[in-house]
A and B are shown apart, each in its own frame.
Chain A
Amino acid sequence: MSDQLQQVINKQNNALVGDENKIDDVVQLVGFIVGEEEFAIPILSIQEIIKPISCTRVPQTPTYILGVFNLRGSVIPLIDLRARFDLKTQKHTEETRFIVMKSGDDVAGFVIDRLTEAIRMPKRDIGPAPETVSEAETMIDGVGKQSDRIVTILKVHKLLERNF
């Protein structure tokens, strides 16, 4: 009995150690859908995900900036990713979410169509961004391949960069 127990414990320990070894080459992402495509951003760049709340339009801004909203006392800009990606905008649905992303001191909320899942992806499965887009301009960090689909990984700092 005690031998068996010991074995089990050892096995668990090994598994844990194995995990730690692996953790370096695994990135944790959160996947979401905008339009037809699935995108993902690193989980650590997400401050929070909230259901849609009302926002206030800000004049003299590009159309993809929906305005500002109140997140527990902070005024945060809201950006429609559909419009940002030049897709046709649509009304909010039950599944629409705001992802509040941060990079350094910059914070903004992004409207996405729906969340998919948290993804653990080995680094080796992530390929570079397609070469057709210029390195400096692209918002794409890389392309993650999974068994049945691919996700586009976005550069959060690029999304949060003011470009008007």
Chain B
Amino acid sequence: MDEFEEILQDFLVESFELIEQLDQDLVELETRPDDLDLLNRIFRVAHTIKGASSFLNFDTLTHLTHHMENILNLARHGDIVIDAGVMDVILESIDLMKALLARIRDTRSDDGLDVSACVVRLDAAVNGDEVPAVVAAPTPEPVAAAPIDEGEEDYSGMSDAEVEAEIERLITIKNAEAAAKRAGNVSAAGAAEDEEEPDYSGMSDAEVEAEIERLITIKNAEAAAKRASGATPATPTPEPVSTPAPAVVTPSAPEPSTQVAPVAKPAAAPAAPRKVEPKEDADAKGATVEQTIRVDVKRLDHLMNLIGELVLGKNRLIKINDDVEERYEGEAFLEELNQVVSIVSLVTTDLQIAVMKTRMLPIGKVFNKFPRMIRDLSRELNKKIELDISGEDTELDKSIVEEIGDPLVHIIRNSCDHGIEVGDVRIAAGKTEGGTIQLKAYHEGNHIVIQIIDDGKGLDTDMLKLKALEKGLITDKEADTMSDKEAYGLIFRPGFSTAAQVTSVSGRGVGMDVVKTNIEKLNGMIDIDSELGKGTSMKLKIPLTLAIIQALLVGVQEEYYAIPLASVLETVRISKDEIYTVENRSVMRLRDEVLSLVHIGDIFEVERVFDNSEHAYVVVLGLAESKIGLIVDTLIGQEEIVIKSLGEYLKGIEGIAGATIRGDGGVTLIVDVAALMQMAKSVKSTVGTESGEGKKLGAKNSASDYCVMIVDDSKTDRTIMRKALESSGITLIEAVDGIEAMNILKQGDHFFDAMLIDIEMPRMDGYTLAAEIKKYNKYKNLPLIAVTSRSGKADRMRGVESGMVEYITKPYSFDYLLNVVKRNIKFNEGL
């Protein structure tokens, strides 16, 4: 039974996928009824599902799809024209087919749904054009004997293909029956058939045989006739692949055959399959459109994590390569190392992108169902509505594709019901009779934007406020002070509806609430724009999770933040004089506009130490219409980063969109620009007031408040320095090399006023140490004094380059050292 289950799963997945495409195709078909490709595609879907369901013994589904196939085949041959009426029936049957499939998925059986009414209508649609006289005839249960008599005449008029189809159907059903028996499912199948065709049991095996015999004879005769006339190639069993399936089916024909099937002896089957099977194969091949493998999403996630670690490794490799390059400049092996590093980095990047792409799906998967929905709605609401879809190829992560469907359904329903007016009203307003809804998708930076634009009546803010007041959602005062945008936002309140009455389409005041919740769940934004009488535009902005984004890295004190480059308009360097204060807010002039400024340190509570630089860097951020200038200490550069979530424990922190891992293995937080702009409104600016704060740290009351670090690997040298300085009462801290010195600095137990640094030390030498220290803003002004036996001019130059202020060569006198230190720490000046 496991094997059966496996086949069933495949069948269901395939069927649902086919149906998704079907809806889209059918609606398109209505506008282009003579598109043969389209028709063939639709036909194949019905055919594929029919074939598979008969194999799996789902008789009700087979029965239904068979009739759909009929009507589509007719249309394919141009025998009937697909108008709205016919389309309604076809769409109805497709809905029924979906229901059946859903039922099979849930209960493993297609019992319990009545398809006969729909089948009758399908047949009626067929006959409506062809044999108007017998419209009433196709009752689901004709008497077994009658159809044969009635049918005699029709058969003679049947084409090869038709006869072929007839036989095929018989075979299919027989095969199904045989399969059922093999699978031990006879009882279930029997039950289903009993319900629908209670009469077939009246037919004997012999009658079945006779029926098949007769059909074959007729077909052969027909073929002979055609051969005689030379109209078709002289093959005894012509199998035109282009017309592979049942064609004209008179109301009587299908019934006897379906009735016959269940009792047919398997013995009767072998005669026919020979002719039919090749055709089935051909069709099955035709239906395979995409070359795909199904993969569990978990595996992709795992792959993604592995790639993440690889990328991290790559970044570190690049960093090490840079260091090595610096140290061994000009060495031959560098070239080779460079090549390897660049190949590894190139391949890793490609691999990363490739894996990310495997998770991406085109948004068309969601959009596909809307043409059908609009069509149904426009008929239901009696409005002419056209849907204009663009950007359906825009790709986004699978998880988002799954979440975005529901909100869109609600928005579009809303636009149809409340937005687009009835034809007369539109004409009276000077618009075209038919309304248009545009559905657009495109990338905007690291977001995907889905826009739904209708040219309906627009949102009436006064009316919205009135309704909200009526329902008690807002107070009078709120209504008075509300801006237009805020008023539009009312439509997202739960329980809010502008519809005068509740229709089947909308008006319950639930839909838009759902939209808001779902979009918020995706960290998205909704932006409504509306003009009364002109239409409404709704913009959903959803972040692309798992995307690599370009980011601008900025520094504030020792912290780094990544700003999505998509939101960065420009960066400017200004002098502090250019910052003005207006109503307690800092602003600057940027060309001909005034830009409000906020310091990144104020937003993220960065402890700022006195910074006396004359200049400031301003990152101009833009989001929608708003702009803001973000002051940062340093601009690091542009980098491609991978967004990682901060996890359950830290999620939802205002202003932080996530984190990323940098080349050095450190974590850098990603700025959420939208939130930052919100926060900027409430943050009290300290841009102009920082200068007063620096003093506190420097307050000295006694000699021991001064603190100097001695960094030297030689115990003797340290002792000498200690002896020289001890007398002054200055607090002295010792470190044996650069690494230890850095650690002591980082611990922050002491606030150092100066450092005495030896140049030659193991692990980290004096130059490197000085350069490292100067990377920190708060040590920018810390005097570093080199104490060394190296006295060359080049050494002095290097010392200056790495940030040393004094250069003392060994040997030195105690007094000299003490004086230099005192001068640099401004000893006693503050006492």
Cβ-closest chain A residue relative to B668: A56
B84 at the interface (CB under 8 A from A): no
- Complex CA gap A107/B559 in Å reads 24
B644 at the interface (CB under 8 A from A): yes
B654 at the interface (CB under 8 A from A): yes
Which of the candidate stretches A14-22, A69-77, A115-123, A137-145 sits at the interface with the other chain?
A69-77
- Complex CA gap A105/B644 in Å reads 16
Cβ-closest chain A residue relative to B306: A73
Check if A70 sits within 8 Å of B649, measured CB to CB: no
Check if A60 sits within 8 Å of B669, measured CB to CB: no
Cβ-closest chain B residue relative to A53: B665
Check if B655 sits within 8 Å of A76, measured CB to CB: no
Among A54, A74, A162, the residue within 8 A (CB) of B649 is A162
Instruction: Please indicate the chain B residues that have their CB under 8 angstroms from the CB of A74 in the complex.
Output: 305, 644
B605 at the interface (CB under 8 A from A): yes
Could you tell me which residues of chain A, from 68 to 120, have a CB within 8 Å of some CB in chain B?
Answer: 68-70, 72-77, 91-92, 105-108
- Size class of the B contact interface (CB-based, 8 Å): 20 to 34
Check if B605 sits within 8 Å of A60, measured CB to CB: yes
A58 vs chain B, min Cβ distance (A) = 6
Among B606, B654, B749, the residue within 8 A (CB) of A91 is B749
Among A59, A68, A160, the residue within 8 A (CB) of B667 is A68
Could you tell me which residues of chain B, from 247 to 293, have a CB within 8 Å of some CB in chain A?
Answer: none
- Complex CA gap A19/B661 in Å reads 46
Cβ-closest chain A residue relative to B651: A162
A11 at the interface (CB under 8 A from B): no
Instruction: Please indicate the chain A residues that have their CB under 8 angstroms from the CB of B603 in the complex.
Output: 59
A4 at the interface (CB under 8 A from B): no
B22 at the interface (CB under 8 A from A): no
- Complex CA gap A55/B603 in Å reads 20
A65 at the interface (CB under 8 A from B): yes
Instruction: Please indicate the chain B residues that have their CB under 8 angstroms from the CB of A73 in the complex.
Output: 305, 308-309, 312, 661
Among A65, A75, A92, A105, the residue within 8 A (CB) of B659 is A75
Among B559, B661, B665, the residue within 8 A (CB) of A57 is B559
Check if B747 sits within 8 Å of A61, measured CB to CB: no
- Complex CA gap A60/B649 in Å reads 13
Check if A59 sits within 8 Å of B646, measured CB to CB: no
Instruction: Please indicate the chain A residues that have their CB under 8 angstroms from the CB of B647 in the complex.
Output: 75-77, 106-108
B243 vs chain A, min Cβ distance (A) = 57
Instruction: Please indicate the chain A residues that have their CB under 8 angstroms from the CB of B644 in the complex.
Output: 74-75
Contact flag A70-B666 (CB < 8 Å), given A75-B644, A77-B649: yes
Among B648, B653, B659, B748, the residue within 8 A (CB) of A59 is B653
Instruction: Please indicate the chain B residues that have their CB under 8 angstroms from the CB of A68 in the complex.
Output: 646, 650, 659, 667, 669
B680 vs chain A, min Cβ distance (A) = 14
Instruction: Please indicate the chain A residues that have their CB under 8 angstroms from the CB of B559 in the complex.
Output: 56-57
Among B305, B646, B749, the residue within 8 A (CB) of A58 is B646
B769 at the interface (CB under 8 A from A): no
Contact flag A75-B649 (CB < 8 Å), given A56-B666, A56-B669, A70-B667: no
Among A60, A91, A160, the residue within 8 A (CB) of B653 is A60
- Complex CA gap A74/B655 in Å reads 21
Check if A106 sits within 8 Å of B661, measured CB to CB: no
Cβ-closest chain A residue relative to B653: A60
Which of A55, A72, A73 has most B Cβ within 10 Å? A73
Check if A58 sits within 8 Å of B666, measured CB to CB: no
B153 vs chain A, min Cβ distance (A) = 71
- Complex CA gap A104/B655 in Å reads 27
Contact flag A75-B645 (CB < 8 Å), given A54-B666, A60-B605, A68-B667: yes
- Complex CA gap A56/B606 in Å reads 12
Instruction: Please indicate the chain A residues that have their CB under 8 angstroms from the CB of B649 in the complex.
Output: 77, 106, 108, 160, 162
Instruction: Please indicate the chain B residues that have their CB under 8 angstroms from the CB of A75 in the complex.
Output: 644-647, 659, 661, 667
Which of A59, A67, A91 has most B Cβ within 10 Å? A59
Which of A54, A61, A68, A69 has most B Cβ within 10 Å? A68
A127 vs chain B, min Cβ distance (A) = 30
B681 vs chain A, min Cβ distance (A) = 16
- Complex CA gap A67/B647 in Å reads 12
Could you tell me which residues of chain B, from 590 to 640, have a CB within 8 Å of some CB in chain A?
Answer: 603-606
B450 at the interface (CB under 8 A from A): no
Instruction: Please indicate the chain A residues that have their CB under 8 angstroms from the CB of B312 in the complex.
Output: 70, 72-73
Contact flag A72-B659 (CB < 8 Å), given A61-B653, A65-B650: no
Instruction: Please indicate the chain A residues that have their CB under 8 angstroms from the CB of B604 in the complex.
Output: 59-60
Contact flag A58-B669 (CB < 8 Å), given A75-B647, A106-B648, A106-B649: yes
Q: Mark A27-61, 1 if CB is under 8 A from B, else 0.
A: 00000000000000000000000000011111111
B656 at the interface (CB under 8 A from A): yes
Instruction: Please indicate the chain A residues that have their CB under 8 angstroms from the CB of B650 in the complex.
Output: 58, 61, 65, 68, 77, 162
Cβ-closest chain A residue relative to B307: A73
Contact flag A56-B309 (CB < 8 Å), given A75-B644, A75-B667, A91-B747: no
Q: Mark B744-766, 1 if CB is under 8 A from A, else 0.
A: 00011100000000000000000
Check if B648 sits within 8 Å of A58, measured CB to CB: no
Check if A72 sits within 8 Å of B309, measured CB to CB: yes
Cβ-closest chain B residue relative to A72: B309
Cβ-closest chain B residue relative to A67: B667
Could you tell me which residues of chain B, from 748 to 806, have a CB within 8 Å of some CB in chain A?
Answer: 748-749
- Complex CA gap A65/B747 in Å reads 17
- Complex CA gap A58/B668 in Å reads 10
Check if B665 sits within 8 Å of A70, measured CB to CB: yes
Instruction: Please indicate the chain A residues that have their CB under 8 angstroms from the CB of B656 in the complex.
Output: 58-60
Cβ-closest chain A residue relative to B654: A60
Instruction: Please indicate the chain B residues that have their CB under 8 angstroms from the CB of A55 in the complex.
Output: 667
Instruction: Please indicate the chain A residues that have their CB under 8 angstroms from the CB of B309 in the complex.
Output: 72-73
Q: Mark B499-527, 1 if CB is under 8 A from A, else 0.
A: 00000000000000000000000000000
Cβ-closest chain B residue relative to A93: B747
Cβ-closest chain B residue relative to A68: B667
Instruction: Please indicate the chain A residues that have their CB under 8 angstroms from the CB of B648 in the complex.
Output: 105-106, 162
B705 vs chain A, min Cβ distance (A) = 20
A55 vs chain B, min Cβ distance (A) = 7
B7 vs chain A, min Cβ distance (A) = 35
Cβ-closest chain B residue relative to A106: B648
- Complex CA gap A44/B771 in Å reads 45
- Complex CA gap A130/B656 in Å reads 40
Partner-A contacts on B (CB < 8 A):
305, 308-309, 312, 559, 603-606, 644-650, 653-656, 659, 661, 665-669, 747-749
Additional A-B contact list (20), CB under 8 Å, known A54-B666, A75-B644, A160-B649 = A56-B668, A56-B669, A58-B653, A59-B604, A59-B606, A59-B653, A59-B656, A60-B654, A61-B653, A70-B312, A70-B666, A73-B312, A74-B305, A75-B645, A75-B646, A75-B647, A77-B647, A77-B650, A105-B648, A106-B647
The 4 closest A-B pairs by CB, nearest first: A59-B604, A56-B667, A73-B309, A73-B308
Query: What are 19 sample pairs from A and B whose C-beta atoms fall under 8 A apart?
Result: A56-B659, A59-B653, A65-B650, A68-B650, A68-B669, A70-B312, A70-B665, A72-B312, A73-B309, A74-B305, A75-B647, A75-B661, A77-B646, A91-B748, A92-B747, A106-B647, A106-B648, A108-B647, A162-B648
